[in-house]
Amino acid sequence: MIDIKLIRENAELVKENIKKKFQDEKLALVDEIVKLDAMWRKEKKGVDDLRSERNKISENINRLMKIKKKGEARSLILKAKTIPEKINKIEIKVGKLAEEIKKMMLKIPNMIDASVQKGKDDSENVEVGIVGKPKTPSYEIFNHAELMEGMGLLDLDSARKTSGTGFYFLKGDLARLHSAVLSFARDFMIEKGFEYCVPPFMIREDVAKGVMSFEEMNTMMYKIEGEDLYMIGTSEHSMIGMFKDRTLRKGEVPQMLTSYSPCFRKERGAHGIEEKGLYRVHQFEKQEMIVICEPEESYDWYDKMLKSTVKFFKKLDVPVRKLECCSGDLGDLKAKSCDVEAWSPRQKKYFEAGSCSNLTDAQARRLGIKINGGKGNYFAHTLNNTVVASPRTLIALIENNQNRDGSINIPKALQPYMGGMKKIGMKK
């Protein structure tokens, strides 16, 4: 949510930002907000004027009583008694207008950073760097799902029976590799000074609305029927929500947290060969990082967080590229975002493995997260970044470390978490 002062003072700038996101259907909202805000301020002034009048009348009543002019005082007392009812009626109008404005404001996208390239969708995202040399071996790289099922380490058929499509059973060494990746990610972030957390895996609706747009809620999240609870799609949802309605002291920022959680997503409309197997699923596990910081420090943190994820994949011997999201591919609350994509030697292309985003003060405004800077309170900036999301990282590991016979080399960074095991192969 942006500052309403920006709409009051520069509505055209807000409209231009909406056009850059190719959300022209929201342009009319800006004019409607301007109109309702003018009405709200007028009614609010009416309440303030009545309160001021009531205070003056009270002063006059006290003065008249002191000089024994009780008749004049009684007349003013009768007049004063009518004011609270007038105030109450106007305050009801003010409250309704404020609620209507807030609903509209929540639909206005965050202001995009000036460095973001204009583009309609993800096809116009911009490659800004490649780390690691993408290799394509001379032998065939097996499909991760078929290979792991053949080894008896993945069971999709049983998962379809228990839970439906989009679920899976990881078994044996593959399940162990999955845990090893997450454990390494946890320790990797702790060494960088981030505090490790395990958050709630469900959140209330007001928190969900604070961390994402309505459209994202509807397309991503599972609602718990009969309860005010949603299953989280990423631990960022809980972690940012932890600071709801809090004012942090200057010395308490930046907040640097890394969190583990399972993630639950509807993932509707999944199509394509890359989504066969473990690529697009309804349940997965993830190590996330979030930062809550001073506004002027947020883009420095954005760069640091992005570098951390790239370095993590380098330690896993997985080549990655950074793909900066264009304006039309940014979520409503994001000011700037960059996807980290892992190399697929089987498909000879990159696929999304994580994303780093700066949301500036959009989430903070929705959730009331502030900093006390000594000379008053102001909204913090929030950022989030994927350290690792499994099982997509498993796919990258299986493909980039696959030998001719289908065995999988375990990267050195993960071997201590696998009991010293160096390779996953076919069971005898």
pLDDT under 50 in the chain at which residues? 270-274
pLDDT at 382: 98
pLDDT at 84: 86
pLDDT (tens digit per residue) in 116-153: 999 999 999 999 999 999 999 999 999 999 999 999 99
Q: Record the tokens describing residue 253, joined without a space.
A: 């920022």
Superfamily per CATH, domain 4-105: Serine-tRNA synthetase, tRNA binding domain (1.10.287.40)
How does strand 283-293 pair with strand 381-390? antiparallel
pLDDT at 204: 96
**Which residue, 301, 305, 303, 286, is CA-closest to 385?**
305
Q: What whole-number distance in Å separates Cα of residue 194 and Cα of residue 222?
A: 29
- 122-424: what fold? BirA Bifunctional Protein; domain 2 (3.30.930)
**Prior bond of 137 cis (ω within 30°):** no
Find tokens 């040399």 and name the residue.
133
Q: What whole-number distance in Å separates Cα of residue 323 and Cα of residue 338?
A: 6
State the span(s) of the chain assigned CATH 3.30.930.10.
122-424
Question: Angle 9-14-15 (CA atoms, 0-180°, nearest 5)?
Answer: 120
pLDDT at 78: 82
pLDDT (tens digit per residue) in 187-230: 999 999 999 999 999 999 999 999 998 888 888 899 999 999 99
pLDDT at 276: 65
CA distances from 232 to 185, 210, 238, 243, 381 (A): 20, 13, 7, 16, 21
CA distances from 149 to 145, 156, 168, 169, 278 (A): 6, 8, 11, 10, 12
Q: What whole-number distance in Å separates Cα of residue 289 and Cα of residue 106?
A: 25
State the span(s) of the chain assigned CATH 1.10.287.40.
4-105
Which residue type does 332 have?
A: D
